[in-house]
């Protein structure tokens, strides 16, 4: 259902050029928005994809309270005080989410947890967290997306479905654009898709490899071995579902291209092998540099999950799953990551920012976060199962639509947002600035040594 | 609130104003040094202590995209060196690439109050500015990578000099940079576009545009000179790290003629010997040239043993070095602009090349005659952490200590250098020059690096200790813009009102019409979204005046 | 094997569009309640599009509506479901020290519950999205 019917005449119209869509990690910054300033709706989002259009056009200012405690409307400052007190008094407070807000707001998150000796984690841990771990192990040759547009003559997607998750990835960056050394667009590129499903993405492939599910590592390792001069095994088909000849041909194409790139998705990180899969892929891209220039890049999901990674890394040294209970950052996936702290019923307070674990997390984690053992605080722009289950719930305005700020595209390129219209709701930045100040005051007052956190 | 401070009876080192270890008072008001303060001023008794301007690091890698990739790469290193929270400061991680908070605090605890990030690609300059905002205490600025910018190269190749100059000015403004950084000019295109090749020589023509590195270097020196930037082009020469490269370095310096040029981490470009074989020292040849040419300034890039991290826009070099140990490695290409390589490294005293690099750096320090034009740096973290600075100072100030250190290093390397014969010992005043007054002057920062009236009250007070490493490792007091941050070696407050130093040369707006079509065709962001607006300076931006100068000693 | 499949949850553009409208809205709920099966598996299990089935594993169970895909879109033995509350009911909290639950490739039992009503799964009229 459309928010504004097409025939309505807009009296007070505003055009926003070069606006950025923050729905997915592509962060396309070439959208032209037409805004009805009276009704406070976006009526057109030129050049946006199906996801982008639905992101912009469905945004309405809803009539709902800014802040609620236990379901009852309260002034914002009361909700912030309550949240700060909960976090300071908790034995194992956690902060999770952050991928759908601006870096300026994300910057307040680690200091809040630093002050209350808690744990900070981003949606990375259930997305490309394993790729982050693999990166720590093997590094990664990588690039900005413009390099792919200008140079890549070999483009591969592995375990991802950009046609549905990043709809403009093909046209804007990787498959069809005409670049400096790829003047004929797709004709200058070999496009390879590796997946277990024949998705919409597979449709663009010059070569589609339908892999036996769970056998990504095996195929990656065969290609790595090929880089070192080993033959593709005879029983290749039995191992991974792809014919030996197809893999041999693929390897030759990888080796002989001028600029090769592999984008990879959660088909690698969420299946058996997790970080070993991502690591094998990054190592393969590294190996191929013996022959030619080769790069790889995880196709990140949410609008600013890459920003969250960057901010948490520059503030703490680690990208996600960071605990401050000993007075300094410690990183340990599996221990300080949110699915684990919740499933093990350790967290007794949870500040969830711009994400929705109650809808997406494993059942044991949801059971705990919605139980009375864990005080839930939600800061979000929309009503979600998480905001509805929260003890303290704060509604904020939406980044890229109501507020400006910085987001990082999936290739670590920072982009400034151009908001369309303002919102009666406070921004994440405003709320988190206040919360950080409050928590800092309480922490100075409490002046407790960090070792008193019971968990330790 | 009274914001006046009187530092009483300190032994003042202020080489810029000709004061060399004289007992006296320093007065501070409203963040600046003044000629007197009222009776009610806070008094710091500095009797028997050395009072110096805050340190200025002219070349380090502490903020921005490549730094953050290196941070992410090293959890095992952070784990060994936690940076604890205090009631006044935030926690962080240390190691060879510390987190932003830890970086700011740790510079301060060495008495440094300004540090310039030496290499940022324009496309990701926002990132560098964002990290600077999260790096407490120290003032920052950054040098923007332009030498491998394809659009600028095409203007050079087509001889469109005037437009080139305007475009350089546009880029400096668009990114809020301090000066132009040239890294391995001409090397990116063979690397990215021709299966990982590199340029071999300053006169080697790049395969893509008919353009030699020398022509690129010359054009930037011309343009920056014309624009009158406070600091000249900051160059990472071709062939860095290769045996026999000193020739390229001297040719690069010659290209400048009598115009100013800053050669970064010159130690890495002072090697004799044959390409592909073990290096020899060419410190003599290099320092001879530098000594004779007042237009050249340089920082040393001293190698220190232990952990390091290669983190450079010179991607082919990093890949070459990766070949030795096949360590984890990052390469990051930035469209139309730059390359980047990252590789963890370990300098070992028993390895010939590493020991020789260490010796060459010290030789350069000891052979150079004008301390104002040679700056202390380790090219952090490429030659070792900035946290090694006090140790470098001790090595320079103590001949016996140097001799002792040499005994424990690779003897073949030690025997092939003249280091053992160099008995020079730096004085405290000279140390003050190479770490404060000199770099401030090289950068054209009039308000930093000295203690004269009107200077920023960035001040360090050290106990006078015999062991100079110990002395410089722990100042008793550190003050930033007149605010006392460290007293009796402890942080007593946090300081977040740091400044971002930049230039804003004027340019003809019409140049945007020339640049835009290239963006539309080859960049992946919109032209309109590329320039960085003032919000990213958070009101902390300081524009340094642009004015032509032939040497840092001009107008002395 | 009859009655047993391997479940692959993932993103889809419909799920993304639904998410923008609101997670408490009908469209999102419907999309995330749709289980896609290969034609072969549907035949073997006697299922057809719109059937309501119960899928379960050691973690939990949930009821979803079946959508049968054309041949070759999905390997035999596998089922796809967009991320959402129903798929969450089957995720195990165990992350094997990574923070990442094994959210793809879990073995599930599938059981017919009742015939369902065929709902339009098409996107809403164009005006809404462009």
Q: Provide ipTM, 2 decimals.
A: 0.96
Q: What is the DSSP letter of B228?
A: T
Residues 6+ apart with CB under 8 A from A296: A140, A141, A142, A261, A262, A263, A264, A281, A282, A284, A285
Give A363: exposed, middle or buried? Use CB within 10 Å, 0-12, 13-18, 19+.
buried
Contact C93 A363 (CB under 8 A): yes
pLDDT digits (tens, 9 = 90+) for B157-179: 999 999 999 999 999 999 999 99
Interface residue B325 vs chain A (CB under 8 A): no
What is the token pair recorded at A24? 């997915």
- The whole-angstrom distance between residue B47's C-alpha and the CA centroid of its chain comes to 33
Angle A64-A68-A72 (CA atoms, 0-180°, nearest 5)? 95
Q: How confident is the model at residue A453 (pLDDT cuts 50, 70, 90)?
A: very low
- Give how far Cα B543 sits from Cα of A237, B116, B499, B534, Å: 64, 15, 10, 12
Q: First-to-last CA distance in chain C?
A: 44
Q: What is the pLDDT of residue B8?
A: 97
Residue among C8, C13, C60 minimizing CB distance to A50: C13
Distance between CA A418 and CA B525 in Å, rounded?
A: 14
**Has residue B341 got a pLDDT over 80?**
yes
Number of CB pairs, chain A paired with chain B, less than 8 A apart:
190
Interface residue A279 vs chain C (CB under 8 A): no
Angle A359-A361-A362 (CA atoms, 0-180°, nearest 5)? 125
Distance between CA B276 and CA A185 in Å, rounded?
A: 40
Nearest in space to C34 (alpha carbons), one of C15, C60, C17? C15
Contact B92 A150 (CB under 8 A): no
pLDDT digits (tens, 9 = 90+) for B260-307: 999 999 999 999 999 989 999 999 999 999 999 999 999 999 999 999
Q: What is the DSSP letter of B205?
A: P
Mean pLDDT of C41-47: 92
Q: What is the pLDDT of residue B331?
A: 97
Distance between CA A417 and CA A403 in Å, rounded?
A: 8
pLDDT digits (tens, 9 = 90+) for A117-163: 999 999 999 889 999 999 999 999 999 999 999 999 999 999 988 99
Nearest in space to A86 (alpha carbons), one of A112, A105, A122, A123? A112
DSSP letter string, A122-146: EGGGGTTHHHHHHHHHHEEEEE-HH
Which of the residue ranges A289-293, B374-378, C40-44 would you say has the lowest mean pLDDT?
Answer: C40-44
Structure-model confidence comparison of residues C28 and B145, the more confident one: B145
Q: What is the DSSP letter of B554?
A: T
DSSP H helical segments within A273-392, as ranges?
274-288, 305-316, 338-343, 357-360, 363-369, 385-389
Distance between CA B474 and CA B494 in Å, rounded?
A: 17
Mean pLDDT of A330-359: 96
* Structural domain harbouring C38: 4-129
Return mean pLDDT, chain A: 93
- Using CA of residue B373, residue B374, residue B376, residue B381, what is the dihedral sign? positive
Contact C13 A274 (CB under 8 A): no
Cis peptide bond upstream of C15, omega within 30: no
What is the token pair recorded at B527? 């032209």
Distance (Å) from the alpha carbon of C3 to chain A's nearest alpha carbon: 19
Token look-up 């390409």 returns B275
Which of the residue ranges A383-387, A424-428, B369-373 would you say has the lowest mean pLDDT?
Answer: A383-387
Distance between CA B261 and CA B298 in Å, rounded?
A: 8
Q: Would you say B250 and B285 are in contact if contact means Cβ atoms under 8 Å apart?
A: yes
Distance (Å) from the alpha carbon of C37 to chain A's nearest alpha carbon: 11
What is the token pair recorded at B471? 């002395």
What is the token pair recorded at B552? 């840092």
Nearest in space to B477 (alpha carbons), one of B184, B141, B49, B156? B49
Structure-model confidence comparison of residues B495 and C59, the more confident one: C59
The residues with which B554 forms a beta bridge, in sequence order, are none
Interface residue B523 vs chain A (CB under 8 A): yes
Q: What is the pLDDT of residue C74?
A: 85
Return mean pLDDT, chain B: 95
Nearest in space to A43 (alpha carbons), one of A35, A51, A55? A35
Chain A CB contacts of C67 below 8 Å:
none
What region does A71 belong to: left with phi over 0, alpha with psi -120 to 50, or beta? left
Token look-up 């807009």 returns A10
- Using CA of residue A381, residue A45, residue A184, residue B191, what is the dihedral sign? negative
Chain B CB contacts of A172 below 8 Å:
524
Which of the residue ranges A200-214, A396-410, C96-110 would you say has the lowest mean pLDDT?
Answer: C96-110
Q: What is the pLDDT of residue B556?
A: 43
Residues 167-186 of A with CB under 8 A from C: 167
Q: Would you say B270 and B286 are in contact if contact means Cβ atoms under 8 Å apart?
A: yes
Nearest in space to C122 (alpha carbons), one of C26, C31, C21? C31
Q: What is the pLDDT of residue B206?
A: 59
Residues 339-358 of A with CB under 8 A from C: 339-340, 342-344, 356
Domains and CATH numbers, chain A: 13-57 (no CATH), 67-127+303-452 (3.40.50.740), 129-298 (3.40.228.10)
Q: What is the pLDDT of residue A122?
A: 96
Element (H, E) at B235: strand B234-236
DSSP letter string, B29-64: ETTEEES---TTSEEEE-TTEEEEEPEEEEEE--SS
Give A75: exposed, middle or buried? Use CB within 10 Å, 0-12, 13-18, 19+.
exposed
How much of chain A is in helix, strand and coil states, percent to nearest 5? Answer: 40, 20, 40
**Has residue B465 got a pLDDT over 60?**
yes
- Give how far Cα B247 sits from Cα of B251, B276, B321, B364, B417, Å: 6, 15, 21, 16, 18
Element (H, E) at A17: strand A13-19
Token look-up 């409050």 returns A438
**Has residue A449 got a pLDDT over 70?**
no
Q: Would you say A190 and A206 are in contact if contact means Cβ atoms under 8 Å apart?
A: yes
What is the token pair recorded at A55? 């992101």
pLDDT digits (tens, 9 = 90+) for C91-105: 998 898 899 987 778
Q: How confident is the model at residue A451 (pLDDT cuts 50, 70, 90)?
A: very low
Q: First-to-last CA distance in chain B?
A: 38
Q: What is the pLDDT of residue C120?
A: 55
Q: How confident is the model at residue B93 (pLDDT cuts 50, 70, 90)?
A: very high
Chain A CB contacts of C103 below 8 Å:
126, 270, 362
Total domains, chain C: 1
3-state DSSP assignment of residue B448: coil
pLDDT digits (tens, 9 = 90+) for B37-64: 999 999 999 999 999 999 999 999 999 9
Residues 6+ apart with CB under 8 A from B495: B136, B137, B480, B481, B483, B485
CATH number, position C114: 2.40.40.20
Q: How confident is the model at residue A47 (pLDDT cuts 50, 70, 90)?
A: very high
How much of chain B is in helix, strand and coil states, percent to nearest 5? Answer: 35, 20, 40
Percentage of chain B surpassing pLDDT 70? Answer: 99
DSSP letter string, A154-172: EEEEES--HHHHSTTIIII
- Using CA of residue B41, residue B44, residue B49, residue B54, what is the dihedral sign? negative
Residue among C11, C23, C101 minimizing CB distance to A165: C11
Interface residue A314 vs chain B (CB under 8 A): yes
* Chains C and B make contact, 3+ CB pairs within 8 Å: no
Distance between CA A393 and CA A73 in Å, rounded?
A: 9
Residues 6+ apart with CB under 8 A from B272: B243, B244, B246, B279, B280, B281, B282, B285
DSSP letter string, B247-268: HHHHHHHHHTTTS-EEETTGGG
Distance between CA B306 and CA B349 in Å, rounded?
A: 9
Nearest in space to A180 (alpha carbons), one of A152, A143, A156? A152
**Has residue B238 got a pLDDT over 90?**
yes
Percentage of chain A surpassing pLDDT 90? Answer: 86
Q: How confident is the model at residue A8 (pLDDT cuts 50, 70, 90)?
A: low
Chain C CB contacts of A163 below 8 Å:
13
Q: Which long-range contacts (CB under 8 A, 24 or more apart) does C63-67 make?
A: C63/C33, C63/C113, C64/C33, C64/C34, C64/C35, C65/C30, C65/C33, C65/C34, C65/C35, C65/C116, C65/C119, C66/C34, C66/C35, C66/C37, C66/C42, C66/C116, C67/C34, C67/C35, C67/C36, C67/C37, C67/C121
Q: What is the pLDDT of residue A270?
A: 85
Q: What is the pLDDT of residue A198?
A: 87
Mean pLDDT of A249-267: 96
Q: How confident is the model at residue C106 (pLDDT cuts 50, 70, 90)?
A: confident
Q: What is the pLDDT of residue A169?
A: 94
Q: What is the pLDDT of residue C73?
A: 82
Structure-model confidence comparison of residues A67 and C106, the more confident one: A67
Domains and CATH numbers, chain B: 1-54+449-495 (2.30.40.10), 55-448 (3.20.20)
């Amino acid at each position: 259902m459309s928010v504004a019917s097409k025939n309505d005449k807009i009296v007070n119209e505003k055009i926003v050029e070069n606006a950025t869509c923050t729905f997915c990690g592509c962060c396309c910054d070439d959208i032209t928005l037409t805004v009805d300033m009276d009704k406070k709706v976006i009526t057109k989002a030129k050049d946006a994809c199906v996801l982008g259009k639905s992101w912009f056009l469905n945004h309405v200012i809803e009539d709902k309270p800014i802040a609620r405690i236990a379901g009852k409307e309260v002034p914002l400052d009361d909700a912030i005080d309550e949240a700060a007190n909960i976090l300071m008094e908790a034995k194992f407070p956690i902060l999770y989410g952050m991928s759908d807000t601006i870096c300026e707001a994300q910057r307040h998150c680690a200091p809040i947890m630093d002050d209350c000796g808690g744990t900070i984690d981003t949606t990375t841990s259930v997305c490309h967290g394993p790729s982050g771990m693999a990166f720590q192990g093997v590094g990664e040759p990588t690039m900005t997306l413009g390099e792919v547009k200008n140079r890549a003559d070999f483009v591969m997607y592995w375990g991802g479905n950009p046609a549905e998750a990043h709809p403009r990835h093909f046209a804007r960056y990787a498959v069809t654009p005409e670049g400096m050394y790829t003047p004929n667009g797709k004709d200058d590129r070999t496009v390879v898709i590796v997946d277990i499903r024949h998705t919409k993405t597979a449709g663009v492939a010059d070569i589609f490899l339908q892999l036996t599910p769970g056998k990504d590592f095996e195929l990656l390792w065969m290609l790595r071995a090929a880089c070192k001069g080993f033959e593709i095994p005879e029983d290749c088909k039995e191992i991974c579902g792809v014919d030996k000849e197809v893999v041999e041909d693929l390897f030759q194409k990888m080796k002989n291209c001028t600029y090769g790139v592999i984008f990879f998705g959660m088909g690698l990180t969420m299946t058996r092998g997790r970080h070993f899969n991502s690591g094998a892929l990054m190592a393969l891209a590294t190996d191929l540099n013996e022959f030619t220039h080769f790069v790889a890049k995880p196709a990140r999901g949410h609008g600013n999950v890459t920003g969250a990674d960057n901010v948490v890394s520059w503030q703490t040294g680690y990208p996600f799953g960071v605990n401050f209970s000993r007075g300094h950052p410690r990183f340990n996936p599996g221990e300080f990551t949110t699915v684990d702290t919740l499933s093990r019923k350790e967290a007794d307070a949870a500040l969830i920012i711009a994400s929705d674990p109650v809808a997406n997390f494993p059942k044991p984690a949801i059971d705990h976060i919605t139980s009375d053992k864990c005080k839930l605080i939600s800061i979000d722009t929309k009503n979600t199962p998480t905001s509805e289950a929260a003890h303290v719930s704060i509604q904020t305005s939406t980044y890229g639509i109501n507020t400006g700020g910085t987001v990082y595209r999936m290739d670590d390129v920072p982009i400034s947002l151009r908001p369309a219209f303002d919102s009666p709701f406070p921004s994440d930045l405003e709320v988190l600035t206040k919360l950080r100040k409050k928590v800092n005051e309480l922490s100075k007052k409490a002046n407790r040594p960090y070792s008193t956190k019971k968990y330790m | 609130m009274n914001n006046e401070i009187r530092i009483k009876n300190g032994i003042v080192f202020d080489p810029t104003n000709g004061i060399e270890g004289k007992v006296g008072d320093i007065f501070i008001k409203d963040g600046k040094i003044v000629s007197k303060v009222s009776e009610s001023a806070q008094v710091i008794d500095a009797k028997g202590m050395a009072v110096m301007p805050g340190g200025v690091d002219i070349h380090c890698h502490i903020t921005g995209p490549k730094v953050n990739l290196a941070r992410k790469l090293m959890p095992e290193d952070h784990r060994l060196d936690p940076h604890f929270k205090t009631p006044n400061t935030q926690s962080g991680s240390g190691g060879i690439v510390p987190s932003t908070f830890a970086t700011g605090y740790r510079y301060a605890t060495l008495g440094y109050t300004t540090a310039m990030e030496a290499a940022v690609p324009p496309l990701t300059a926002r990132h560098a500015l964002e990290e600077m905002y999260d790096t407490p205490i120290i003032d920052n600025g950054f040098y923007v990578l332009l030498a491998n910018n394809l659009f600028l190269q095409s203007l050079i190749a087509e001889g469109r000099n005037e437009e080139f100059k305007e475009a350089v000015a546009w880029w400096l403004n668009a990114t809020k940079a301090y000066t132009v950084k040239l890294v391995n000019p001409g090397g990116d295109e063979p690397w990215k576009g021709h299966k990982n090749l590199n340029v071999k020589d300053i006169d080697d023509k790049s395969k893509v545009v008919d353009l030699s590195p020398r022509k690129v270097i010359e054009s930037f020196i011309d343009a920056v000179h014309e624009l009158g930037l406070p600091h000249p082009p900051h160059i990472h020469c071709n062939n860095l790290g290769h045996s026999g490269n000193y020739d390229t370095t001297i040719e690069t310096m010659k290209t400048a003629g009598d115009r100013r040029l800053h050669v970064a981490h010159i130690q890495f470009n002072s090697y004799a010997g044959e390409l592909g074989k073990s290096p020899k020292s060419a410190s003599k040849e290099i320092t001879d040239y530098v000594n004779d040419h007042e237009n050249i300034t340089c920082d040393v890039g001293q190698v220190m043993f232990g952990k390091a991290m290669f983190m450079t826009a010179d991607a082919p070099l990093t890949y070459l070095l990766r070949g030795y140990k096949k360590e984890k490695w990052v390469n990051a290409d930035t469209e139309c602009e730059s390359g980047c390589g990252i590789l963890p490294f370990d300098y070992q005293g028993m390895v010939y090349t590493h020991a020789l690099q260490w010796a060459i750096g010290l030789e350069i320090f000891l052979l150079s005659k004008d301390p104002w034009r040679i700056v202390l740096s380790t090219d952090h973290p490429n030659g070792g952490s900035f946290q090694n600075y006090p140790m470098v100072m001790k090595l320079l100030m103590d001949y016996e200590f140097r001799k002792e250190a040499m005994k424990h290093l690779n003897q073949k390397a030690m025997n092939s250098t003249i280091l053992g014969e160099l008995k020079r010992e730096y004085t405290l005043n000279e140390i003050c020059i190479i770490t404060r007054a000199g770099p401030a002057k090289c950068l054209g920062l009039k308000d930093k690096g000295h203690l004269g009236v009107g200077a920023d009250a960035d001040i360090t007070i050290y106990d006078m200790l015999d062991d100079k490493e110990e002395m410089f490792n722990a100042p008793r007091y550190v003050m930033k813009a007149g605010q006392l941050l460290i007293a009796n070696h402890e942080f007593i407050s946090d300081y977040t009102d740091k400044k971002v130093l930049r230039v804003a040369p004027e340019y003809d707006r019409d140049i945007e019409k020339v640049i835009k079509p290239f963006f539309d065709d080859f960049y992946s962001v919109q032209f309109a979204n590329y320039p960085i607006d003032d919000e990213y300076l958070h009101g902390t931006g300081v524009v340094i005046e642009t004015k032509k100068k032939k040497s840092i000693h001009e107008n002395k | 094997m009859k009655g047993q499949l391997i479940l692959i949850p993932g993103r889809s553009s419909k799920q993304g569009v639904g998410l923008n409208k609101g997670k408490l809205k009908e469209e999102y709920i419907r999309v995330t309640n749709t289980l896609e099966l290969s034609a072969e598996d549907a035949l073997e299990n006697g299922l057809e599009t719109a059937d309501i089935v119960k899928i379960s594993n050691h973690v939990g169970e949930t009821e979803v509506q079946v959508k049968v895909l054309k041949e070759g879109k999905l390997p035999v033995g596998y089922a796809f479901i967009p991320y959402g509350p129903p798929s969450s009911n089957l995720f195990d909290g165990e992350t094997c020290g990574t923070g990442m639950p094994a959210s793809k490739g879990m073995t599930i039992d599938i059981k017919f519950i009742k015939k369902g009503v065929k709902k339009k799964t098409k996107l809403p009229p164009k005006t809404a999205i462009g």
